[in-house]
Structure 1
Amino acid sequence: MIYAVDNADFKARRLRAVKEDLNTGAATLARKTLEDIIDFSDCCDAADTQELVTELTDLVTQLSAARPSMVSIQNALRRWSDCLENLPADDLKEARRLAQMAAEEVIEELQNAQVDAVAACVKELKDGMTIMTHSTSSSVMSLFNACYQAGIKLQAIVTESRPGMEGRKLARFLNKLAIPTQFISEAQMAYFVPQADKVIVGADSLLRDGTLVNKVGSRLLALAARDSGIPFWVLAESFKHSLTLPEDVVLEEMPEDEMQLEELEKVQVRNIYFDLIPARFITAWVDEQGVRVEFRSLAEASRVPLLAAP
């Protein structure tokens, strides 16, 4: 151990960071929470392995509850938690090392799953295609980069994704890749979607029945795509699969001040950040095992322990 910290302070700071990060996708946040586990395993103030496990379990519980709409965080932490039963009771230093190593292995699993899902999607894209997307997904960013590296020339239509405006991050990224991009508001989605060959979005969660949980505005885009006959694809590795049903989902509501309206006596400001997009609006699901046009076997084929309904 390099140094010890105040355990409660460490947890409070990391929990606050996860809750307040509104511009990072689910996969990246899952990796960040595992990096928190690595840091805490090293610097946690613990007298023995039992105390270390207690403190780590408490941190996992808090991080898992921090972003209920992002199931990859819960699934990644659930996978890592398997190591706790096997930490040596009589060797605290070794217990810290093994906890860190287990987190690094899950991070690698997350990264490999995303790489494989992106590779499966790349095979379905051709020169000259226009891809429309909403919000900023690390998987979608990786998809554009993989196509660029493979010499597949794409064009893009990117929404700004209010509130939060994380679409700007993707637009800047695409500009660096010299990918011709149209940057639009959500209000323009129905007008622009007929120009696309495919709509491809990431996911915060994929539910038992194939329902997508993603940044608010995604359902409107799915409806516009369906109306125009444009395929609507979901690119999401199996760490984002959940056994939860739509009626049990908690859609996160964020601070009112993001809506930029002064306080008005008779006005209630709502800032719900996520949509539920039913499976009937989705043309295909892409994960590390390939492209699927039916969802029924997806959860069964998942490689990770899934978060079940409460």
Structure 2
Amino acid sequence: MSTLIEISEKLGEDMYSGSSQVVAKFLEALSEKKISREEMERAFNILISAHPDMAVLQHAFKILRNVPIDGIHTAAKEFLRSLKNSPRRIGEYLAEMLPQKAIVLSYSQSGTVGEALLRVHEMGKLGGVILSESRPGLEGRKFASFFLENNIQVTLSLDCALGSLIEGADAVAIGSDAVTVEYIVNKIGSLQLALLANYFDKPIFALASTHKFVSSAIPQKIAEPKNIWDDAPIGIFVQSPLYERVPLALLTAVICERGLVGIEEIEMILE
């Protein structure tokens, strides 16, 4: 059986799952294992170093590091329960903003977006989902399989085709690894999608629980060059960031488990 340190190291290598998915797997392991405070803090530090863009990790660590060691399991389960329940409530707020049988365009792979859209589907308001591959990790394919498994009509295309496909969407819904009063942080390509949504006058929502609200966040992760062009000729410098900032000004709204929020509401939540 893997130790908590081994689990954190493995999760640290996962560059393409959503932050809620990564944290949920870690907290599930944490809530089941007998550990020392030192082991917990070391595991958290390994994971935070690997995923500095994931605000929910920092939020969980801030809470759990101040809990008595004999209360860690209970606190981890409570944080996990709150994290898992939030997307369904977010989905209910999102449904209020959509027409009947809405076609929603999304991007990359987000556990929050997936569960929120599943809730919209249960409410009878989702007509289908449009996705792209989401290079270089191609996690869009896995996201498409999630919707297929839940009997939701899904279309998968190339990233560069979103400018053509967005005209057939009623709205855009993306995830977020961090939310600040000025911007969100999400997978590279999200900024272009936000600009497209504004150009075509499509509402675009960033879905994120308040666990991801932070005062500031700096995108740091970069793609492995081999995942962009393996064996590239010598002399060609292959590099790309994996995450980027999207200004709140380009978003219709951020939707969290408390409803639609703007700058003032985010500031109040962060106080």
**Normalised by the size of structure 1, how large is the TM-score?**
0.81
Which residue matches 2:58? 74
Which residue matches 1:233? 205
Structure 1 residue runs of 4 or more that deviate by more than 3 Å after TM superposition:
none
Distance 1:235 1:207, change over 3 A: same
CA distance in 1, matches of 2:16, 2:192: 20
Which residue matches 1:38? 31
Rg larger in structure: 1
CA distance in 2, matches of 1:123, 1:250: 31
Distance 1:185 1:170, change over 3 A: same
Which residue matches 2:141? 168
Give the conservation status (yes or no) of the 8 Å contact 2:100–2:125.
yes
Partner residue of 1:57 out of 35, 38, 41: 41
Deviation per residue, 1:155-214 (Å, 9 max, x gap): 2211110111111122122223333322111111111112211111111111232x1111
1:192 matches 2:165: yes
The 5 Å alignment of 1:114-129 reads 114-129=87-102
Kindly state the Cα deviation for residue 10 of structure 1 after the two structures are TM-superposed: 4.9
CA distance in 1, matches of 2:13, 2:126: 36
Deviation per residue, 1:231-290 (Å, 9 max, x gap): 111111101111015xxx142013221113314221111131112111111111100110
1:267 matches 2:260: no
Structure 1: which 5+ runs fail to align?
Answer: 45-51, 88-94, 306-310
CA distance in 2, matches of 1:151, 1:263: 48
Distance 1:190 1:99, change over 3 A: same
Give the conservation status (yes or no) of the 8 Å contact 1:64–1:77.
no
Distance 1:10 1:141, change over 3 A: closer
Which residue matches 1:17? 10
Greater shift after overlay, 281-290 or 266-275?
A: 266-275
* Identical aligned residues as a percent: 22
1:221 matches 2:189: no
CA distance in 1, matches of 2:17, 2:139: 8
Kindly state the Cα deviation for residue 39 of structure 1 after the two structures are TM-superposed: 4.3
Give the conservation status (yes or no) of the 8 Å contact 1:33–1:73.
no
One-letter code aligned to 1:36: A
Give the conservation status (yes or no) of the 8 Å contact 1:71–1:241.
yes
Distance 1:194 1:264, change over 3 A: same
1:181 matches 2:149: no
Structure 2: which 5+ runs fail to align?
Answer: none
What is the number of residues matched between the two proteins? 271
One-letter code aligned to 1:259: I
CA distance in 2, matches of 1:205, 1:134: 16
CA distance in 2, matches of 1:222, 1:127: 23
1:151 matches 2:124: yes
CA distance in 1, matches of 2:147, 2:43: 36
Give the conservation status (yes or no) of the 8 Å contact 1:134–1:201.
yes
One-letter code aligned to 2:133: E
Give the conservation status (yes or no) of the 8 Å contact 1:33–1:63.
no
One-letter code aligned to 1:71: A
Partner residue of 1:298 out of 261, 266, 269: 266
**Normalised by the size of structure 2, how large is the TM-score?**
0.92
